[in-house]
Structure 1
Amino acid sequence: MRILVTGATGQVGRHVVAQLVEAGCSVVALTRRADADLPAPVEVVRGDLLAPASVPFDGVSRMFLFPEPRTAREVVARAVEAGVSRIVTLSSGAVTGGFDTDFQLPVEQAVEASGVAWTHLRPGDFASNTLRLWGPMIRSSRVVRFAQPAAPSLAIHEADIAAVGVAALLSDGHAGRWYDLTGPALITRREQVAAIGEALGEEVRFEEVDAAEAREILRAQGGWAAANADFLLGFADYSAGGPSFEDVDWSAALTPLPTVEEVLGRPPRTFAQWARDNVAAFR
């Protein structure tokens, strides 16, 4: 079975690739990175979902699809024409919550309209967001300066998202379903910082600042943190036309879901496990 993984070096895609290789699958990995470090014997193809003609479908029967709404219909149409019969889409819990109207949702709609068997993965907060937000602070000073230390998260390990996706790619019974995915338990931002410190074997302090100051810190940091600062700190809604965060009942969104265990037969990994798995990135 030949499977195409798009976004193959991303937070989830790299785990999908590794798990498919472990399962003995033939994997084609699409990436924009010339220095992609992926396990042998993966066939690495440089390309971009924004250039659909660069997406390799030769001999591919199933696909893991990273969300790119601008070209989703064209990419999916090429996949169907090439004989792809099953697509697993990396989406977001924001679709279930009604927040997403213009990013993951259009990709889901393109896949559903194609006529192939589909499964959508809708994870909530990625555990790796803590690395992208706080990594530079922890590496430089062992102090996280951020807002709302008691804010809770159901952060999920990206390897668990990937494992559900791999199950949907390789086994039957998942077609036409969407999976809302969470970690096993609520954990506050302060507790996340403490778990990272425990993994490091050093104290990492949480220094509370207000949302406006936290936004300026992230903007100065640059990259993903700067690009997402307004959304993450409540200064902007998820999607234009979606509901305001202030109008949402968050109780349902803060309830751990059994989905990972139902699909995989085991509980999801904890945030502490994620911190141990990724401790080198904080050194």
Structure 2
Amino acid sequence: MSLDIGSSAIHLNLPPASSSQVRSPSVINIHPSVLASILTHHSRKPSESSTPRVIGTLMGTRSESGAEVEVRTSFALPHSEDENQIAFDMEFLMEMVDLLNKNGTKEVIVGWYATHSALNAYSAVIQNFFSGETVPYPAVHLTIDTDLSEQGKGLGVKGWVSNQLGLTPKPESCVFLPVPVQLKYADSERAALDMLTSQPTPSPSQPPLPTLAASLSDLSNLIDNALTYVKSVNAGTTQPDAQVGRYLLEGVGRWAGSEGEEGGVKAGLQDTLTVAYLANLVRSQVELSGRLTLLQQGTN
């Protein structure tokens, strides 16, 4: 059967190119804590569960144009899945979002995740639901491959968006388009992440002496590199970089402060020690007063 010029066998519901409010994201930035939360959710899946994956909600922010999505938090979404049907707790999802909003969070629903690399008809159905929660922006989908091979392959993170496909668009009929995923974290979090990834311990807040010694050694090497760079710039052997100079000036300012050698971190440390001393003194006085009161009551 021939088709008319104006007809089409495939309908791809793409967003208007002229509208910047509904454009598909060009990159998905994800925080390391989100990946840790997702892996923890997967590790706690009951061994007797027949569900091949766990799913959850992604919370974050978007740029004004919608071209960049930043995933900051996530939470698990209870669901059941088999060959015949899939079901998840929508009431739990709404209650969690309301709870986060009451806590003053600025994140909104940006999509969902699944700990399985495969995309199927059930993925399309869930994607269709979350697309309704992120209107007018498209929902993003993260797949995390948790199957580790002997060669060390696995934990692949991929990002997706979807578009309806077909003559009559249906929830289960869509095409997933890949979106680049980047790991994003603040510079202040670099030391903690290096500690967790290099030598994870049961109690990262109280690392053992070898880990602490390694961190101090790395810090000492960084200071030596900075000192070598400054000396070479002063000697004229290295071309100065204004951006590096600003970073060094900011770092030195945090230590020196505006009060000279007695300001900055040193003054803050003295204040902390003073407060700690006064707190211990008050605690001792209260304890002594309580014992004297008990002694007086016993005498009477």
TM-score bracket, shorter-length normalisation: under 0.3
Q: Higher RCO, 1 or 2 (CA under 8 Å, sep at least 6)?
A: 1
Please say which structure displays the higher CA radius of gyration: 2
Normalising by the residue count of structure 2, what TM-score does the alignment of the two structures yield? Answer: 0.25
